[in-house]
Amino acid sequence: MTYFTDLHNKTVMVTGGSKGIGKDIALSFVKLGAHVLIIGRGATALEDTLAELNEAGSGKHKAVVADVNDISRIQEIVAETVRDYGTIDILVNNAGVNIPKPAIEVTEEDWDTILDTNLKSVFFFSQAVGKHLIEQGKKGKIINIASQMSFVGYIKRAAYCSSKGGVVQLTKALAVEWSSFGINVNAVAPTFVETELTAGMFKDENFKKDVESRILLGKMPKPKDISGAVLYLASELADFVTGETIKVDGGWTAI
C-alpha cells in the first residue's frame, strides 16, 4: 500500500516555514505533490526556501513575508491564498518563539511576544482558515506545533510552557467545535530538535547534557522526525483523529 497519496495537489499553508522544522515540513509536503505556501518574517530565508520547494516538486508554491502577530494580515493572507489556490486544505501552525529567562526576570514585553506568537497567532490563523472551510462546506486539517513543554515544566521557560500548554487546550477546543464541519484539529509536540535555530543554545554543554539525559532514546530528533507526525495527521490515515496531540519527544514525558 502506498501512503500519503491523498496529499497530492492539496494546498498547504505553513507558518514559520522558512527554517528548521517548518522548512522540513514544507519540503515533505512538496515531495508528496502538494502545493505549499510558506509564511515568515525574513524575506531572504523565505526566498531561499521557496527555491528549494520549487526544485523539490512541481506544485504551485509561494512565499509570503508577514509577521504572524499582525492579525489583520492573517485575514489578507488567507483571502489571497483562497483566491490563488481555490482553497486551503491543510494549515500547519508552526511559527514560534522562545525567550529563555528565569521567571523572575521575564518582562511584560517578553511574555506578550511569546504568548502572541505561540498562541494568539495560532488561534487567529486557525480561525481564518476554519471560517473559510466552514463557509465553503469543505473538510480540512489543522495541525498545531505544540511542545513537550505543553505537558512538563522546565527552567527558564515559564512563558513558553504557558503558551504551549495553551496550544494543546486550544487544539482540543477547536476540535470539539469544528468536528461537525469535517475539520480535524490536532497537534504535534516535539522535544528539542537539532536545527540551526537551536544550535546556539546547545553551545552550553551542561544544558545539552541535561536535555540528552531526559530523552530515553538517547539522542535528539531531526526535523524529519517531526514532519512524519505532521504528514500522518494531514493524511487520510488520521481522518478519525481529532483533538489529539502526538508527542515526538523520545520518551521525555514518559517518566
Judge whether 232 counts as a catalytic residue. no
- Residue 214 is predicted with a pLDDT of 96
For the domain spanning 5-194+222-249, the CATH number is 3.40.50.720
Instruction: Kindly state the average pLDDT of the residues 203-220.
Output: 93
User: 172, 111, 178, 110: which is closest to 138 by C-alpha?
Assistant: 178
pLDDT digits (tens, 9 = 90+) for 20-33: 999 999 999 999 99
Domain ranges of the chain: 5-194+222-249
The pLDDT of residue 1 is: 57
CA–CA dist 233, 141 (Å, integer) = 8
Please report the pLDDT score of residue 102 as a whole number: 98
Name which of 164-178, 196-210, 223-237, 239-253 the model is least confident about.
196-210
Average pLDDT over residues 119-147: 98
Average pLDDT, the chain: 96
pLDDT at 238 exceeding the cut of 70: yes
Give the DSSP H/E element, type plus range, for residue 123.
helix 121-136
> Distance between the two ends of the chain, CA-based, in angstroms?
35
Would you place residue 195 in the very low, low, confident or very high pLDDT band (cuts 50, 70, 90)? confident
Which one from 85, 154, 160, 232 is the annotated catalytic residue? 160
